[in-house]
Structure 1
Amino acid sequence: MDFSQLQSLLSSNSFEKIADLCDESMLQAKTLIPKTLFFFFGGVASKGVSFQENWPYAVHLVGHIYVDDLNSARFLWKSIPAGIKEARPEISAVWKIGQCLWNRDHTGVYAAVRGFDWSPEVAPVVTAFAESYRKRMFQLLLSAYSTISVADTVHFMGMSEDDATNYALQHGWTLDPSSKMLTVKKPKIVTEQKLDSSKLQRLTEYVFHLEH
């Protein structure tokens, strides 16, 4: 695998491309006899080592999670040798996020994101995923609720009560302090108005007179 390409994607925050690059590179690696491999983000050659021992599984796995491809993430997780999972706990920590997504455990997703000291390679992808996930949850609330309790908002948004309330208020929602219920501000739906033929004709004549 050309790890310089992976490093470039991480450096440019092109996280949506990580999974595809890793998938293609893994397929190529499996078809070759791994006589010489390179350590992840290193320049030190390692002879006679299986590609699995140095594969960036945590980045690969979080790449699938970032684009919400849980089926591929699950398949990848199952294919990782048990010994590698035990030796590299970050891989299991990434999959914990995937498990919570699979089970629609919204609170668990945020807890899993906060529950590990991520490596420099994985941290920015996890952070970007968490931000994207929170925005998706907020859009879900917009479409599914007209009113919602602060407690339920906290559950979906993974924030403290104050932060979740302030986030909602900043988006135009209103709060009833006595009941701690939020009223959702629905986005305006712009409908396209069609002109009938007579109006279109009058408009054409009006523009003609303006131009002459």
Structure 2
Amino acid sequence: MDLSAVHAALSAKSYSAIAGLCDDLLLQVASRGVATDDWPYAVHLLAHLYLNDQNSARFLWKTVPQEVKDAHPELGAIWKIGQCLWNRDYAGIYTSAQGFEWGPEIADFVSAFLESYRKRIFELLTSAYTTISIADVAHFMGMSEEDATNYAVQNGWSLDVATKMLTVRKQKPQTNQKLDPNKLQRLTECVFHLEH
């Protein structure tokens, strides 16, 4: 079983490519009837969580043999992160990820997952709130109140020290480009010719 492409993606920190690589390789290996006991299930599962592909992560977990799950505590630790994601246990995601002694092959990947997740949560908070308490930001971001405040302020939010509230700075909406009528006419003609 040649996992060099997966190892290369891990080394290059091309984390968004790993799930697809693993899916393709696992299908190839399974179609040949090769045993998958040495398969990097932990990396594969984390790759789906990194992409926020929770359905694929659940499916993969169900296909992992029980003896493999029992023999690899790292895999169980990643599954625990996934369970926290599904249950929207924001603090639990960080606690689970930071409370396990990750192996050298996956430690950077877990850190990258947490940073990516933290950015997604921050974007969601930015779109959902106009003001929010420091305590709530700390809870959602898995940080201390001081770190959460610093993170928010560094990203343009403002702090009201008296109320311990943060005011969200909304992203400027992107302006739509005006469509050239000539391009629209050509597109219409092209679609017309394709349909007839």
**The two structures share one fold, judged by TM-score above 0.5:** yes
1:6 is matched with 6
Aligned length: 178
1:120 pairs with 2:104:
yes
Whose radius of gyration is greater, 1 or 2?
A: 1
Distance apart, 1:174 and its partner CA: 1.6
2:25 is matched with 25
Extract structure 1 runs of 4+ deviating beyond 2 A: 187-194
Equivalent residues of 2:133, 2:165 under 8 A apart: yes
> Following superposition of structure 1 onto structure 2, how do residues 1-212 of structure 1 map, counting pairs within 5 Å?
1-34=1-34, 51-189=35-173, 191=175
Distance apart, 1:193 and its partner CA: 8.6
Alpha-carbon deviations, 1:127-147, whole Å to 9, x = none? 111101101111111111110
Name the CA distance, whole Å, in 2 between partners of 1:193 and 1:99: 42
Q: TM-score, normalised by structure 1?
A: 0.79
What's the C-alpha RMSD, in Å, of the aligned pairs? 1.5
Alpha-carbon deviations, 1:61-114, whole Å to 9, x = none? 111111111111111111111111111100000111111111111111111110
Distance apart, 1:192 and its partner CA: 5.7
Distance apart, 1:166 and its partner CA: 0.8
Equivalent residues of 2:29, 2:36 under 8 A apart: no
Q: TM-score, normalised by structure 2?
A: 0.85
Query: Gaps spanning 5+ residues in structure 1: where?
Result: 35-50, 195-212
Equivalent residues of 1:70, 1:98 under 8 A apart: yes
Distance apart, 1:190 and its partner CA: 5.0
Alpha-carbon deviations, 1:173-192, whole Å to 9, x = none? 22122211111112233546
Equivalent residues of 1:101, 1:109 under 8 A apart: yes
Q: Which amino acid aligns with 1:88?
A: H
Distance apart, 1:162 and its partner CA: 0.4
SS of the residue 1:53 aligns to: coil
